[in-house]
A = this chain, B = another copy of it.
């Protein structure tokens, strides 16, 4: 687990050396490699480890410091500040609001934008609607401890839930809005997970720098009877969060 030394970085790969080194240090931190001292080795030692110049290591550390992973103090060294990713549970019945409980102090999610539009092919398919049927689209940003961690685009049947977006201000959560439409319960029926380099639009919302990674979940929520309710597309900042899949919670309440 704590294999040391002789990490390699590749040149001409399209990824700057400092970024490759930052990635590897981040991984080493989360592997617990520096847990005995709670700080990184000195810049000169790191430069030797990756066979690069000290300034290249400094660029890498600078990036990690801007991310809040480490804190640099002149004359003393570089201290590890954040070790673990948040764990976001994914189960048949988990809601975003409950998910991160205990791991963070504050959690918020706010409606960034919304609209009614004709359903695109994947949306109409997921919601079992006619092609180009009207759907409500919500754009949500989820934050944990004031840091954005997720970016969701969510679609609902526009005929069945015409003023879904308007009710958001009043109720503040999807579950509460659905209740106001007399939908008492719903479950997650499928989730597809993929990883991508961050695309420009999401970059800003999640406060990421290009080259950052996003975990994408494509979710369908449905009523207990199986009628689809919501099709959602969420991007998580992969360096701040991991997904924790619960295979046990499947028995209906």
The range of chain A's interface size is 35 or more
Contact, CB under 8 Å: A13 / B191:
no
- Name the B residues within 8 Å of A90 (CB-CB): 245
Question: Which among B13, B32, B210, B213 is the interface contact of A10 at CB below 8 angstroms?
Answer: B210
Partner of A251, one of B10, B23, B250: B250
Q: How far is the CB of A61 from the nearest CB of chain B, in Å? A: 13
Secondary structure call for the A interface: mixed
Verify if A253 is at the interface (C-beta below 8 Å from B).
no
Interface readout for A3-34 with B: 1 if CB under 8 Å, 0 if not?
00001111001111011101110010000100
28 contacts between A and B (CB under 8 A): A1-B120, A1-B121, A7-B200, A10-B200, A10-B210, A14-B15, A14-B19, A14-B63, A15-B15, A23-B196, A24-B199, A27-B197, A27-B199, A85-B194, A187-B247, A190-B244, A192-B242, A193-B215, A193-B242, A194-B215, A194-B242, A195-B214, A195-B238, A197-B213, A211-B211, A245-B245, A250-B250, A251-B251
